[in-house]
Structure 1
Amino acid sequence: MIFFFLSFVVPFVENPPKIDGILEEVWNLSPVISNFTQQEPLEGEPATESTYVYLLQDKENLYVAFKCYQGVKPVLEIRGWDNASGDYVTIFIDTYGDGDKAYFFTVSTSGTQEDGIVVRGGVSSDYTWNGIWFAKAYLTDYGYNVEMKIPFKSIRYKNGEWGLQASRWIDKKDEWDYYIPVKRFQGLRVCDFSKIVVHPEIKGRFLEVYPVALVKYSSDLRPDMGLDISYNPAPSFGLNLTTNPDFAEVEADPFTVNLSKYAIYLQERRPFFIEGQDLFKLHMSGNFNIGGSPIRVLYTRNIGRIVDDSTKVPVLFGMKEILKIKNIENAFMYVLTGEAGNEPLSHYIAFRTKTSLSQFLNCGFTYTGKENTINSTRVLTFDGSYLKGNNDILFQGSFGDSSGKRGPAFYGNYSFMNDKFMFSANGSYIDGNYAINEVGYITSKGYSFIGGFGPVFVPQNIVKYWGFALGSVFGKDFEVKNPSLGFFVFTFINMKKSNINWSFSISDHWEDTSNVDFNYKSKSGNFNIHHRFSEKLRGGFWANLNYGFNWSSYYTCYYSNYGFYANFEPLPNIHFDFDVDGVGWWEEGLKMFDLRLKNMEENYITFSPELDYYFSTRIKFGLRTQFVYENNTNSIISERINPIITYNISPKSWIYLVYTVTYDRDNKMIKTDEGSTFKIRYLFYF
């Protein structure tokens, strides 16, 4: 008999199951979890296929099994770690039972494993966490099975009551099923998880020793080594140490054209900084948010950056610490960088403490700073968040001191969305003396307020749901005397195979150019569509047309960003991506109805074909290419070819073999960079 369990004790077994995807009789000792409910496409309806989940434990591990019935053959797509595709299942465990965070473990029909942490009660997921766990999938005549073994040493936890959720994705039906029903517009909520009782008999966590060896050949041979150590004497405490950390990037940043007056925000790619980033970030929900993002008081791309155009600052030492005591979580990071160019020896410090005042209310305090013999930057920030039902509130108050230049900053956001109505309000104030870009990242300084609202419709036919919103924005940059006022309209349509969005805005805008206030009518139109043509082919197109100040050419004009993408999977182990991104602008004074592609003043088009060939879920050959076209010269001005072989030897252990060659145009194409890299990261754990 199948029951809907609100709580149960996970049975203890002396002889645990073998992890091979074939379900043994020992699983019959577990209570059976079933009766899944759809989130998509028909919210609240029973799942169209049966799913059964089983849980067991021994002294050292939690065991999970899925038995998935399917009327048609499951979709099998071979991918590498953290890239589950095709049909797959996921188990979520809130190991502190406090409704704040949860680990998730995903396994696809091909055996691809994916893991991460659900943060801030469920509004966002952090895929940078990688654990040590084991899984197998097995295709059957009724569908497929999945078995997992999750060592208690690989996760942080308390003994006793945990939260539990399970989900299943059925690719051919575009169907999301959940054990505990999940509302479409509210999304996953950790506080709604069912309860299980788990009693691990093992103390402490893995001691992880993580050496890295690197050999790079360009004009000469350059070997290098590094070492990471992770020591976790208790489930709630962890200490990470690193010397000469692994900051070697196997893929370069993409080509960009910057039309604004601010530095482009770059994604972090270095493992030491990627892991655990969620501890220092405020996460917004994925629902109706129309304003800016929270203040980035820690921007790790500042650490070990490029100075004097070409000199890279060395990172000598790094340390991270995490401690959780009841409802209080603390995180600390210290990094020492060496001298390079005009950059002296510097100390970077980041500290955060967060406490849960209730199941729905959190508050936190963050300090970020940089110290050296020339200057200092110190930033103190208080933040709070409230998440209940469809209501999502974020707040930040910050004070920055950069070598005596002091100023405050504030940020607030509220969003609400259900099946009838959506509303969002966002405000920020950045003082002119709030200078934190040595450790954080901010762009404009001044104040801004934006709000919007509108109806939502759920017709439940070919269109699953759609809505539109009207709103306005009011703000002023500290560099100008007059405020700007604007209005916008936004529409979205979500269908079974497509998503369509478009928006239009107009504002009376003021800009500071050469210390002179400049007024113009700013206009912007945006459109994007994403469509799933078949199981093997997906694609999309986007475009925007704007009228504003172009800081690249230093005049007002029309400018545009546009592009399209296509993902094609001819075989389960072959994946093609083809992306095209364009950015261009027209000459000053040209009217909108006179705009043509052929009369663009400048136009850059970046073509990025990519190929992934999977020999298995552990071994992959990838080919990354990039070609940049410029209309003025009617030629390719940059080429980059980057083949890469990756081998996932064992949990968190990788071998990389990379080759990169770059050509840039100077009257003719000249090879500007070429090199090969061999890198191995191998984890020893005890």
Structure 2
Amino acid sequence: MRKLILFLLFGIANSFYLSAQKINAAYQLHIKKASSEILIDGAIDEQAWEDAEIATDFFMITPMDTSFARVRTDVRMTYDDENLYLLVENFLAVEGPYMVESLRRDFSFGKNDNFLLFMDPFDDQTNGFSFGANAAGAQWDGIMYNGGSVDLSWDNKWRSKVTNYDDKWVFEAAIPFKSIRYKKGITEWGINFSRLDLKTTEKSGWAPVPRQFPSASLAYTGSLIWDQAPPQTGANISVIPYALGGIKKDISGNGDTEYRREVGLDAKIGLTSSLNLDLTVNPDFSQVEVDRQVTNLDRFELFFPERRQFFLENGDLFASFGYETIRPFFSRRIGLNAPIQFGARLSGKINKDWRIGAMNMQTGEVEEDGLPSQNFTVFALQRQVGARSNITGMFINKQSLNYNPDPDAEQPIYSQFNRNAGLEYNLASSNNLWTGKAMFMKSFAPNQVGDGFVHAANLKYSSGNLTWNWEHQYVSKNYTAEVGYVPRNGFYKINQEASYLFFPKSEKILNHGPKVGVRYFFNTDGEKTDNTTFLAYNIKWRSQSTFQAWVSTDYVLLQRPFDPTNYSGDTLARGTEHQWYATGAEFTSKPQSVFTYAFTTRLGGYYADGKRYNVTADIGYRFQPYVSIALSANYNSIHLPEPWYNTNFWLVGPRVDVTMTNTLFFTAFVQYNEQIENINLNTRFQWRFKPASDIFLVYTDNYLPAPFYTKNRSVVLKFTYWWNL
């Protein structure tokens, strides 16, 4: 507790340091109202662009951050009563074709020549929006949180066009004011522009960003200075209805064919220019991309990120609370086993210092499982302190409705309620060198014995060469988060990591250096249960290829029986001790090639004095910009004494992305998972016939590998339309 108090005092003092002075305050782009009508065609032939101020002379971020960029980029911005306009001239420094994956939306940043806009409409250096495109015209948009992270699952309504010339490619965009959130009357926004040119392997930014941080870092934005306050959007109401038809057949179970005929509705209501109310009735998420499967050899539940659009805007208010394995709220718990009937979500800025997030969701009952209808309520209130830090309070409630469990049952199947309440302090210094957080959370449940309590903290320092992180966590035995992701209870964790990078004067190697880490787990009696210590060495070439080699030692004292194959059903006994050594390597090829590859290896000991060998490989080839082919393969060979003996698992996932235009997409993804004895085929056709309005055709099959036969099959046709009132 003493360390926590010192951490908080240090963090608060540091977060206020230089809070009055923005680091890149001298970088200003003045924007004035358009002097002519603008047509989004990728051409610079309107008077408005001739009159607009130009942001140029970008600074290099990588491979070095001490000089101007070699590639020239010119940016102009203007606006009218409806839209914010952007025009970018991306000049070429080296002859040859541009490098892109495909025309797929929300492309991989490092594999495409691209331009991105990072926008902080509240100038709080914490939250914002990102828009951009690659050199073939594929769009990128996302919502920004935590001062520099971008969630690309967020989509909104805007228009853009890319035109290629001999010496440059031009990106022109119109972003409706109704598609973003901003505070009334503010005439200065945080803004930065990022350019990645793969032929020169150069990443650059208009306002300079140190190379240890992403170009999206809002701590280093310049300023967009408006000639007058941005226009108010007036009534900002969007209605997004959907209709679908589908067929589902359980072939292996000889089940009846199920027919789906459903309609539903989402609505977005802008209560203010910075506060939004989202409503949903009978939502459907059948078009969401399937999760990428992994071979599970872990003792705990795996985490898969949220992809459903309704939960994403300002989702960091809920999802960022806690740590990677201590998440009091995890939206994928809602609607996991029961249909969502309706829901509402209020989120956004109250003013520059306060943000709010409130959500209520209602699910229906599932009679065959005895699952009652349930109501989920989440409330978060965040206050910014100092330059970029904040304090957040959160309350979570899961309530079963009309549920009367058997009074004679020792343990009810479902709980009457589960509640969590707590506080979190997030530290982000003015220059982003110091980051961290400290959290406290308490759970409440009808049958909870003892205090369900969590506290955790970490402090991280990131300079150009040295990175250091200290972290500790405590989760009590009785803590429960039924709407969260907390796979492990009853432990203390201490984790420390440090790394150092050398930047040699070399034409081939960008940086290299060691990384060391040690992690301990103790049970609540103070007994050591887990320990991992590792040493790694990293090399990054100027071509952006990377290599890492590592060695580690592991110790585990099992707290419950565990099957080391997660397959056979035979388990190691609780209380048994296991220790082993392992080594491995990882390599990723340069992203600018049309043929890319990566591999990882791991060999060494395993539970019960066994051995485990692992190889993964990722291979990709693109016929740019229309077709991208990828193959992922993961092989595990586990050698154990009886009763397990030798166990081998393959996980293979070929994928094809066909992007006929930047509005017409087809994806086919096959996953063969030997551990769960399943082959999954998922194909998705998408036609974006208008901005944010789509037709989806999704076909899914699941097969048993041996003997090969179809287990179940489904097909869904879905229509969505974004209608602004």
TM-score norm. by structure 1 comes to 0.89
Separation in structure 2 between the aligned mates of residue 375 and residue 458 of structure 1, nearest angstrom: 58
Q: Using the TM superposition, name which of 407-416 and 425-434 deviates more.
A: 407-416
Question: 2:552 pairs with 502, 505, 511, which one?
Answer: 505
Q: Letter of the aligned partner of 2:50 in structure 1?
A: N
The answer to which structure has the higher strand fraction is 1
Q: Using the TM superposition, name which of 367-376 and 351-360 deviates more.
A: 367-376
State the number of aligned residues.
650
Match of 1:660 in 2: 700
Instruction: Answer yes or no: is the 8 Å Cα contact 2:154–2:309 preserved in 1.
Output: no
1:210 aligned to 2:256? no
Match of 1:347 in 2: 375
5+ residue gaps, structure 1, are: 285-291, 307-312, 550-554, 591-598, 631-635
1:205, distance to aligned residue in structure 2 (A):
5.8
The CA deviation string for residues 314-356 of structure 1, in whole angstroms up to 9 with x for no partner, is 2111111114122100011111111111311111111111111
Separation in structure 2 between the aligned mates of residue 146 and residue 665 of structure 1, nearest angstrom: 47
1:154, distance to aligned residue in structure 2 (A):
1.3
Instruction: Answer yes or no: is the 8 Å Cα contact 2:579–2:609 preserved in 1.
Output: no
1:491 aligned to 2:537? yes
SS in 2 for 1:172: coil
1:408, distance to aligned residue in structure 2 (A):
0.9
- CA change 1:33–1:517 in 2 (3 A) is same
Match of 1:606 in 2: 651
1:151 aligned to 2:176? yes
Q: Using the TM superposition, name which of 444-453 and 616-625 deviates more.
A: 444-453
Match of 2:714 in 1: 675
Match of 1:83 in 2: 107
CA RMSD of aligned residues (A): 2.5
SS in 1 for 2:307: coil
Q: Letter of the aligned partner of 1:361 in structure 2?
A: S
Match of 2:615 in 1: 562
1:658, distance to aligned residue in structure 2 (A):
1.8
The CA deviation string for residues 630-686 of structure 1, in whole angstroms up to 9 with x for no partner, is 7xxxxx9533333321111122111111222222046x2121112221111111113
Question: 2:280 pairs with 242, 254, 270, which one?
Answer: 242
Identity level (%): 22
Q: Letter of the aligned partner of 1:142 in structure 2?
A: D
Separation in structure 1 between the aligned mates of residue 112 and residue 705 of structure 2, nearest angstrom: 42
Separation in structure 1 between the aligned mates of residue 117 and residue 191 of structure 2, nearest angstrom: 8
Separation in structure 1 between the aligned mates of residue 190 and residue 233 of structure 2, nearest angstrom: 21
SS in 1 for 2:199: helix
Separation in structure 2 between the aligned mates of residue 83 and residue 70 of structure 1, nearest angstrom: 21
Question: 2:160 pairs with 128, 135, 140, which one?
Answer: 135
Match of 1:42 in 2: 64
Q: Letter of the aligned partner of 1:577 in structure 2?
A: A
Question: 1:33 pairs with 34, 52, 55, which one?
Answer: 55
Q: Letter of the aligned partner of 1:126 in structure 2?
A: D
The CA deviation string for residues 520-552 of structure 1, in whole angstroms up to 9 with x for no partner, is 324343421111275201110012346444xxx
Question: 1:201 pairs with 231, 236, 245, which one?
Answer: 231
1:16 aligned to 2:16? no
For residues 105-504 of structure 1, what are the structure 2 equivalents within 5 Å? 105-122=131-148, 124-158=149-183, 159=185, 160-188=187-215, 189-198=217-226, 199-204=229-234, 206-218=236-248, 219-249=257-287, 251-282=289-320, 293=324, 295-306=326-337, 313-326=338-351, 327-340=353-366, 341-372=369-400, 373=403, 374-388=415-429, 389=431, 390-405=433-448, 406-461=451-506, 462-478=508-524, 481-497=527-543, 498-504=545-551
1:267, distance to aligned residue in structure 2 (A):
2.9
Instruction: Answer yes or no: is the 8 Å Cα contact 1:249–1:270 preserved in 2.
Output: no
- CA change 1:454–1:628 in 2 (3 A) is closer
- CA change 1:533–1:168 in 2 (3 A) is closer
Instruction: Answer yes or no: is the 8 Å Cα contact 1:120–1:283 preserved in 2.
Output: no
Question: 1:96 pairs with 122, 127, 150, which one?
Answer: 122
SS in 1 for 2:420: strand
SS in 2 for 1:365: strand
Separation in structure 2 between the aligned mates of residue 399 and residue 345 of structure 1, nearest angstrom: 25
Separation in structure 2 between the aligned mates of residue 534 and residue 12 of structure 1, nearest angstrom: 39
- CA change 1:257–1:556 in 2 (3 A) is farther
- CA change 1:29–1:251 in 2 (3 A) is closer
Separation in structure 1 between the aligned mates of residue 38 and residue 574 of structure 2, nearest angstrom: 74
SS in 1 for 2:488: coil
- CA change 1:258–1:505 in 2 (3 A) is same
1:268, distance to aligned residue in structure 2 (A):
2.5
SS in 2 for 1:42: coil
1:221, distance to aligned residue in structure 2 (A):
2.8
SS in 2 for 1:27: helix
SS in 1 for 2:178: helix
Q: Letter of the aligned partner of 1:324 in structure 2?
A: K
Q: Letter of the aligned partner of 1:33 in structure 2?
A: A
5+ residue gaps, structure 2, are: 1-24, 249-256, 404-414, 562-572
Separation in structure 1 between the aligned mates of residue 98 and residue 29 of structure 2, nearest angstrom: 33
SS in 1 for 2:332: helix
1:59 aligned to 2:98? no
- CA change 1:456–1:257 in 2 (3 A) is closer
- CA change 1:102–1:266 in 2 (3 A) is closer
Q: Letter of the aligned partner of 2:678 in structure 1?
A: S
Instruction: Answer yes or no: is the 8 Å Cα contact 1:528–1:542 preserved in 2.
Output: yes
